Amino acid sequence: MSLINETHDPALKSWVEEANRPGSDFPIQNLPFGRYRPIGVDEDFRIGVAIGNQILDLQGADLIDTSDMNALMALDTAARQRLRREISRGLSKGSAQQQTWSKRLIAQDAVEMAVPCRIGDYTDFYTGIHHATSVGKLFRPDQPLMPNYKWVPIGYHGRSSSIRVSGQTFRRPRGQTKAPDAAQPTFGPSRRLDYELELGYFVGGGNALGQPVSIEDAEDHLFGVTLLNDWSARDIQAWEYQPLGPFLSKNFATTVSPWLVTTEALAPFRAALTRPDGDPQPLPYLDGGFNRKAGAFDITLEVLILTERMVESGLPPERLTLGNAGTAAYWTAAQLLTHHTVNGCNLQSGDLLGSGTLSGPAANEAGSLLELTEGGKKPVVLANGEQRTFLEDGDTLILRGWCERPGAVRIGLGEVRGTVLA
């Protein structure tokens, strides 16, 4: 099944000239959705599409009749594709819509962005096998991966109320921790605060309670992808996570990018799901021809850090890692959605599925400081001489993502920024 159509044509150009700039995150081949309002204006957030350095107001352009992003996301696949084609044609060079739509543009630096939609429920998975193996070696050298890892997508239910959009600041969390040689735990601020490089998969149309979604139909229930940073307090996590898993170590903050890059926009960057020789193949309910052939996403992922001292010195952010989601994830987004519903669980429009930390096989592809520093044993040394084992107060973490392949126009996922406060 071909997912490529006229909206992906590499020769397509927009009358919004910034969208034609090489390296732009938001060329006409992307068209991600987000919610915005002018800075300083107390009004409801509107639905827009990013094009170059501008945002097109979809209601103002008479393309939609709702300000409810979740309702738009719940449209069926055919309706979403029609809307994408209509937006693409109207923003193309030579379009008859240019004169009218140019009045419906607003600069991205003139707006306040919101979380892309109303997030009802949030489930975080553990699809990064290199991350799971590296972390497992720190805690269980004799058995890094649990016996179920290669058979079932592992996940836990997170907290949607603390999810915020890029630019989030949050207080360093407090909780119980226990040193290995201590007789009892102590209470105080986390000293092993970490980031997690993830993708967020947003549900479009939901399913009725008791009606599982098959692997063949799962793609129709996925609306789009964002960058996601699931901040983690590793010392609190180590003390609390057995026997029921993460709790206070995870629910204090999660940051997402403001733009929802649709699965339609990602069509040219699909990748095959591959398993190492000797690994078991998925059980039949998690296995399908399209999922094997094109279930993964070829997305480059980057993590940068900006410390307070770097800001004071006028230094730019410094890269910590660079990797790829396609080689990091053991399970696809469709498999996560199918597994989530196989017991009859009902997902709803706007529900968020986190990929889990996406680390590659090489040391410089790690998606967390826990891995980069081998549990705090080997500090990361920055160019200005600063060292980090875990995050310090004032540190800003930046996640970026983009897709590029020969024969396709590069598209970006924007970025996620978050800053730790004392």
Annotated binding site for Mg(2+): 230, 250, 254
276 contacts: CB under 8 Å, gap ≥ 6? none
Residues of the binding site? 124, 126, 140, 196, 198, 230, 237, 241, 250, 254, 357
Given 131, 221, 339, 340, the catalytic residue: 131
Residues of the binding site for substrate? 126, 140, 237, 241, 357
**Alpha-helix runs per DSSP H in 140-288:** 234-240
For 58, phi then psi, to 5°, come to -70, -35
Residues of the binding site for Ca(2+)? 124, 196, 198, 230
**Residue 116 CA: distances (Å) to CA of 95, 165, 266:** 28, 8, 18
Q: Is 131 a catalytic residue?
A: yes
Asked if 195 and 232 touch (Cβ cutoff 8 Å), the reply is: yes
361 contacts: CB under 8 Å, gap ≥ 6? 130, 327
Round to whole Å and give the CA distance between 370 and 210. 39
Round to whole Å and give the CA distance between 207 and 219. 13
Please return the burial class of 409, using the count of CB atoms within 10 Å of its CB with bins 0-12, 13-18 and 19+.
buried
**Residue 308 CA: distances (Å) to CA of 35, 230, 314:** 30, 21, 10
Round to whole Å and give the CA distance between 336 and 397. 27
- Paired strand residues for 354: 124, 200
Q: Report the candidate in 16, 27, 8 with the shortest Cα–Cα distance to residue 94.
A: 16
- Paired strand residues for 222: 203
Asked if 224 and 32 touch (Cβ cutoff 8 Å), the reply is: yes
Round to whole Å and give the CA distance between 303 and 131. 15
User: Active-site residue numbers?
Assistant: 131
